[in-house]
Structure 1
Amino acid sequence: MNPLKAAVVFINDIDTATKGIHPIDRAPVPSPEEDIEHVEIKGRHGTLTKKYAFLDISYPLDFYINESMPFKQAFRVAKQFLLDAKTLRFSDDKDVHYRVKSIRIDTAENIIVKYGRFTVEFTLMPFQYETNETRTITGRTVFNNPAYESQPYIKATCSGNGKIFVNGEEIQITGINGTIEIDCELMNAYRKTTGNITNLNNHMVGDFPVFKHGNNVVEFSGAISKLEINPRWRWL
């Protein structure tokens, strides 16, 4: 074991070492598996290939605890922190983070009173997400996506009816005086004000857009005065 080789692990943007939880070695770099079906059809050369979505990542990380208190007590406290994990990030790859869906903590090896080691099995979403700033646009704008296709967040300020165009695909906004927020990942249109959420899906007509790899042209017309867009770039 050489903890000096290990990158700092951040859970919910908190260095795990500040909680007494130390990575044992440098973390491996996972890649998601694509769900692919190969169908044999009689009389066809080769198989018919059907590509679906990317699968969750099963990602084990090894940690140790070596505190002034007995390990069993420290381990109880550590588990409470780990079970609240929502994001996972590393100091040698600060620009991106993983989203944590669930974790499983294996049985710990309590070698001496104040030292023990254990494995945490993270189940992650299949993407690495950048932390992007929200960008305000007031006219035709090109967003260049350097990564895999993304599902953006779009907030439109509108005083009636308008249209949003993403790569020529039309989204109609009807009867909005104020703002409408379009979350393409959640496939939901709403307005959030001081903690209250109003469902506005009946004020939107069209598909929730994606930003493909490369250039994406965003335009709008009608009573829309501006768009606030977070592209949510994500990597495989």
Structure 2
Amino acid sequence: MLSFNFGGKNSFTDYGILITKRPSIPSPKRRITNVVVPGRNSSLRFDENTYEDITITVECSLKEGSLPNKIDDVKGWLIGTGESILIFDFQTDRKYVAQVVNAIDFTQTYKIFSTFVIVFNCQPFKYAVNNSATNLIAAGKVTNPGTIYSEPIIKVVGNGDITLNIQSQTVKFKGIADHIILDSLQQNAYNQSGENLNSKVTGEFPVLSVGDNSISWSGNVSKVEITPNWRWL
């Protein structure tokens, strides 16, 4: 029995929704701009190294029991949830960040069933459901199992001037008191209290490439905690 979890609720156990066809999962489209130059063969390509959202269409049916109340409940759940986590039961270790973007229209069939279609607009990537942090107290490595670089959240626990090295990437911190959190996804640096610490950072926000990533540092550091945000195309 195919089902999905969305907004913390299960389509089958919570609402009795049957998925009538396994949904097709598209790959995200890479953003590449082609520029035609007169007198030049082919075209110039500018790769932004970014991806478009994807759309997942799910065909469903609902057994008519307490209609129309059940239909109202389903619509309220799917449309009212907004952007949330979507997990299909055929791949429970991966999740999407998704939102329902279509009107939910029910069509009665076979007297006791209503069919309908859900269209999820999703961010381009699948993310790991298990996003546990890795703690390093000495130089080491972190292995990215995904198919594209990840944008981690890195907490450096230490004091004073610190240099953090991830592969060929170098980030320098000035005058750290106790710790600093470097959020590559949000492009922001702060501490546990939410204080803005961007002025203490020099260098680009680091990413974790596919495969092994060597991690090292200099300065007074007691621990580096990496929440990886693994993802797949």
Q: Say yes or no: TM over 0.5.
A: yes
1:144 alignment partner in structure 2: 143
Confirm or deny: 8 A CA contact 1:171 1:206 kept in the other structure: yes
Residue 15 of structure 1: which of 10, 14, 37 is its match?
10
**Counterpart AA for 1:161:** D
1:125 alignment partner in structure 2: 123
What whole-Å deviation, never above 9, does each CA across 1:166-221 have from its counterpart, x for those lacking one? 1132211222222221111111112234xxx2222222221101112222111111
Instruction: Name the SS of the counterpart of 1:105 in structure 2.
Output: coil
**Counterpart AA for 1:207:** E
Aligned-residue sequence identity (percent) comes to 26
Following superposition, the deviation at residue 229 of structure 1 comes to 0.3
Confirm or deny: 8 A CA contact 1:148 1:235 kept in the other structure: yes
Confirm or deny: 8 A CA contact 2:152 2:207 kept in the other structure: yes
Unaligned runs of 5+ in 1: none
Are residue 226 (structure 1) and residue 188 (structure 2) matched? no
1:199 alignment partner in structure 2: 196
**Counterpart AA for 2:134:** R
Following superposition, the deviation at residue 233 of structure 1 comes to 1.3
Confirm or deny: 8 A CA contact 2:78 2:100 kept in the other structure: no
What whole-Å deviation, never above 9, does each CA across 1:53-90 have from its counterpart, x for those lacking one? 110002211222225311x2111111222231511111
- What's the RMSD between the two structures over aligned residues? 2.0
Q: Which piece of structure 1 moves more, 30-39 or 101-110?
A: 101-110
Confirm or deny: 8 A CA contact 2:25 2:56 kept in the other structure: no
Unaligned runs of 5+ in 2: none
1:97 alignment partner in structure 2: 95
1:211 alignment partner in structure 2: 208
What whole-Å deviation, never above 9, does each CA across 1:97-153 have from its counterpart, x for those lacking one? 111145323322144786322111111000011122101001222222232111111
Q: Which piece of structure 1 moves more, 149-158 or 114-123?
A: 114-123
Using the size of structure 2 for normalisation, the TM-score is 0.89
- The 3 A distance-change label for structure 1 pair 64 and 192 is farther
Using the size of structure 1 for normalisation, the TM-score is 0.88
Instruction: Name the SS of the counterpart of 1:170 in structure 2.
Output: strand
**Counterpart AA for 1:42:** P
